[in-house]
């Protein structure tokens, strides 16, 4: 009787409920990314500038509700990781493209969060080698979490014998333009090529999982043949839209303009193109960007936003 008596009130509440469900729809959709099959989730679609109101570069590869691969961990991505519903215990591997801050700045926040989980298997971490200018992957991790690292209070997660619940296992991947397999476990394989990103050692990654393939350009100016070889016939190609057409100087030395993205996507015959690493200098120029890409590539193309989910069919 009490419930029946409240029915008129509930009837008037329906529009409010609809409004609320619309407001929540994307968030809820994000939390179910990859619940069936393979999906890519964009954790961070922005570049280094905070005013783009996007997390910096970071991606999750989901398989049947498990977040299996994390690619890069730029600033803001740790929060997006939590919002995605993923846990650090689910990850099979972390892959780094390079160690610019906007690709690695939230790594420590993710590792700290994992300390509160009960992960009990090693966490492999793969990334580029170093040079005079940048640390290698093993140096990057040990300079943060080693016995003399900035966060040495968490060294039990890196130094054997200190009794942590699990150990990080960092590896340097020395690759050239021929793809090499860095990691393999079950139906999951990660391979890499070296890409040109100014003087910064950098990798592009290909993740093969459940019979699907997702390729991440990372940051690169597009020079060389490695990225096309790595991306050949990929189901999904994530390319970084960091500079507009006509960019020159340092910007062009570091990043590929839309015409180069389109040429690589076409030469590699990728089946789907996602544009990320969107910066203040490319945001608002989507029509121009798309027009340049369309001169070369005619397949599906999407400009990514944080937490967007791309099922790979
Ligand atoms: Zn970079």
Residue 7 has pLDDT above 80, yes or no: no
Residue 1 has pLDDT above 50, yes or no: no
What average pLDDT does this structure show over 60-72?
Answer: 98
pTM as predicted: 0.90
Q: What is the mean pLDDT of the chain?
A: 92
Half-sphere exposure at residue 143, Cβ-oriented, CA atoms within 13 angstroms: 9
Q: Residue 112 has what pLDDT?
A: 98
Higher pLDDT, 223 or 22: 223
What average pLDDT does this structure show over 114-132?
Answer: 96
Query: Coil, strand, or helix at residue 88?
Result: helix
Residues with beta carbon < 5 A to ion ligand 1?
A: 100, 219
Q: Residue 156 C-alpha to ligand 1 middle, in angstroms?
A: 30
**Cα-based torsion angle of the residue sequence 237, 243, 244, 250 in order, rounded to the nearest 10 degrees:** -140
pLDDT band for position 31 (50/70/90)?
low
Q: Residue 165 has what pLDDT?
A: 85
What average pLDDT does this structure show over 262-269?
Answer: 98
Q: Residue 110 C-alpha to ligand 1 middle, in angstroms?
A: 20
Q: Residue 98 C-alpha to ligand 1 middle, in angstroms?
A: 7
The separation between CA 217 and the C-alpha centre of its own chain, rounded to angstroms, equals 10
């Amino acid at each position: 009787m009490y419930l029946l008596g409240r029915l008129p009130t509930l009837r008037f509440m329906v529009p409010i409920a609809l409004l609320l469900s619309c407001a929540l729809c994307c968030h809820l959709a994000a939390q179910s990314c990859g619940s069936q099959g393979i999906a890519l989730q964009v954790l961070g679609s922005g570049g280094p500038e905070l005013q783009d109101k996007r997390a910096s570069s970071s991606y999750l590869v989901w398989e049947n509700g498990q977040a299996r691969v994390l690619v890069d961990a730029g600033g803001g991505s740790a929060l997006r990781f939590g919002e995605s519903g993923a846990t650090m215990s689910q990850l099979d591997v972390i892959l780094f493209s390079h160690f610019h801050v906007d690709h690695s700045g939230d790594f420590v926040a993710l590792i700290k969060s994992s300390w509160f989980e009960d992960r009990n298997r090693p966490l492999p971490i793969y990334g580029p080698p170093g040079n005079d200018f940048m640390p290698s992957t093993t140096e990057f991790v040990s300079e943060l979490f080693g016995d003399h690292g900035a966060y040495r209070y968490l060294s039990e997660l890196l130094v054997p014998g200190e009794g942590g619940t699990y150990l990080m296992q960092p590896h340097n991947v020395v690759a050239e333009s021929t793809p090499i397999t860095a990691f393999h476990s079950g139906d999951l394989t990660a391979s890499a090529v070296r890409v040109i990103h100014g003087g910064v050692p950098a990798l592009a990654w290909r993740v093969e999982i459940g019979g699907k393939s997702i390729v991440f350009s990372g940051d690169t100016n597009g020079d060389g043949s490695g990225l096309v070889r790595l991306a050949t016939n990929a189901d999904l190609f994530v390319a970084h839209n960091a500079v507009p057409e006509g960019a020159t100087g340092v910007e062009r030395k570091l990043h590929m303009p839309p015409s180069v993205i389109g040429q690589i996507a076409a030469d590699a015959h990728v089946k789907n193109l996602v544009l990320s690493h969107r910066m203040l200098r490319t945001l608002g120029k989507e029509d121009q960007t798309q027009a340049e890409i369309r001169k070369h590539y005619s397949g599906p193309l999407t400009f990514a936003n944080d937490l967007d989910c791309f099922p790979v069919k």
